[in-house]
Amino acid sequence: MIRITKQTDYGIVIASHMATDPERRFSTAEIAEETHLPTPMVSKILKLLAREELLDSHRGVHGGYALARTPQEIQISEVIAALEGPIAITECVDDSPGLCSQEAICPMRSNWQIINGAIKQALDGISLAEMTRPLVTERLVPLGGGETLHT
């Protein structure tokens, strides 16, 4: 099973919640209360998203966190990468050479790279703005060779 972590799931919930009011500065406590998520986890996620420049952090009485760009300009793939690292379904598609001992002789590597590219492309195609509303029930996902997958 391929699954994102709870932290990343919460990160997408938090970022999507912030996208519903993109001009607002949110405190950690407000986000935790409004999303019903644990305050320590919210705090950790906000710091990670700010470190990756997806959020701006403001200090002071009227401080808090705000989206660094418009919700339309922030892709779900960026949120995932900020919290999980590069999107790589297997070690051989990660940009770090030498992680897989079979890398040089593996006949599956190019196939995994194509699959990973399709997943990344799908995640690149969904913005925070889209996450604030239901996605279209059927989306077309381009496959190699001019085919399309209806999802």
Per residue of the chain (151 residues), what is the pLDDT tens digit? 678 999 999 999 999 999 999 999 999 999 999 999 999 999 999 999 999 999 999 988 888 999 999 999 999 999 999 999 888 887 776 655 556 667 667 787 788 889 999 999 999 999 999 999 876 655 555 555 555 555 5
Helices (H), the chain: 6-19, 28-35, 39-51, 76-84, 109-124, 128-131
Strands 55-58 and 64-67: antiparallel
Backbone angles phi, psi at 96, to 5 degrees: -90, 110
Structure tokens at 83: 């919290």
**pLDDT at position 29, please?**
96
**pLDDT at position 112, please?**
85
How far apart, in whole angstroms, are the C-alpha atoms of residue 125 and residue 110?
23
Task: Look up the pTM and report it.
Answer: 0.81
